[in-house]
Homo-oligomer: A and B are copies of this chain.
């Protein structure tokens, strides 16, 4: 039913190769012929079959994007930015959701490998060695994680965590809890490392609680634990957990920031809408999405893996860029001075 290149060729009285060239190399065909072909193509509603093209060029013009949880508001802006950038370059994005599951992650990247020109691994939970392994199968750019020898786009959450801790120290807090995120998260390790150092430097005590599921539920679940720990401030792995925690604390009769201060990470849109508005570390998610797409496409044009390109680019070790994006602390209403010592925090 859909018109093929052959139909257009027949209709315009030329060979199929001429039709092909009309689209892929217009300067090689007589202007007169070109307009005729284009007219016929338009008429028949012809659009090149990308699958067939992919077969011979080795380029699908698709890229895969694997995220841990599309329902986590952290990801959509990144996805959106990546899609926009990709579309700009005539690429399409295949989004897949792993439900925070390592096994699903691996399965998905394999399933995607053959139908995309490259994969963006966003906040992967799998092991470094597994990532390296899949990168031999399909070009990969890693987001939110550092893997040696692979192109990576990271956000400097370590720096952000340090700023957050310093902010809390400045408010007088000396007993601080860190709400850990999911196991396997690079971001989680970075935050923990930086927060630990900053707390030690400032003479504060840092209690690590976790790992936890990086959602409101996960945050709410540890509210009681936080109360019993007797801390006066909390740095959460992400905004969702911070918000869940605030809810949970509220249910326990603890007020934020009067009784306890809470800082999140990500600066999702939601963090401006809750009451109190959340103090958080803003991460440049959109920029990360755009950058990652650029790096992948760059990689791709450097190292053709098409049918024709074999053998040409054997031994060149391309320089694998690693980009670190800056973060910043956004102070809103969920942090305040440490409560007077006499006050009962319910502990």
**CB atoms of B51 and A115 under 8 A apart:** yes
Contact A70 B62 (CB under 8 A): no
A2 lies within 8 A of chain B by Cβ: yes
Could you tell me if B76 and A110 are in contact, using CB atoms closer than 8 angstroms? no
Cα A47 to Cα B83 with chains together (Å): 27
Closest to A65 in B: B95
Residue from B60, B83, B273 in contact with A270 in the complex, judged by beta carbons closer than 8 Å:
B273
A273 to B273, CA, bound (A): 9
Interface residues of A in 288-343 (CB under 8 A from B): 305, 310
Contact of A52 among B55, B77, B95, B305 (CB under 8 A): B55
Query: From A115, which residue of chain B is reached at the shortest CB distance?
Result: B50
**A156: interface (CB < 8 Å):** no
Known: A45-B137, A305-B1. A70 touches B60 (CB 8 A): no
Q: Which residues of B contact A269 (CB under 8 A)?
A: 71, 216
Tell yes or no: A106 within 8 A of B by CB.
Answer: no
Q: Are B273 and A110 in contact (CB under 8 A)?
A: no
Establish whether residues A111 and B92, one from each chain, have CB atoms under 8 Å apart when the complex forms.
yes
Query: Is residue A195 within 8 Å, beta carbon to beta carbon, of the partner chain?
Result: no
Given A47-B110, A54-B51, A70-B79, A2–B247 Cβ distance below 8 Å? no
A47, B114: Cβ atoms under 8 Å?
A: yes
Nearest opposing residue in chain B for A215, CB measure: B269
A16 vs chain B, min Cβ distance (A) = 16
Within 8 A of B (CB), among A1-52: 1-2, 45, 47-52
Q: Which residues of B contact A92 (CB under 8 A)?
A: 94, 96, 111-112, 115
A133 CB, nearest partner CB in chain B, Å: 10
Chain B hits for A83, CB < 8 A? 70, 96-97
Complex Cα gap A193–B32 (Å):
55
4 nearest CB pairs, A to B: A275-B275, A95-B95, A71-B76, A51-B51
Other 12 A-B pairs with CB < 8 A, given A80-B97, A216-B269, A270-B270: A2-B137, A45-B137, A48-B114, A51-B51, A51-B114, A70-B80, A73-B73, A79-B95, A79-B97, A83-B97, A92-B112, A92-B115
Pull 17 A–B residue pairs with CB atoms less than 8 Å apart, ordered by A. A1-B305, A2-B137, A49-B114, A51-B55, A51-B60, A51-B115, A62-B115, A70-B70, A71-B269, A79-B95, A80-B97, A83-B97, A92-B94, A92-B115, A243-B273, A270-B270, A274-B274
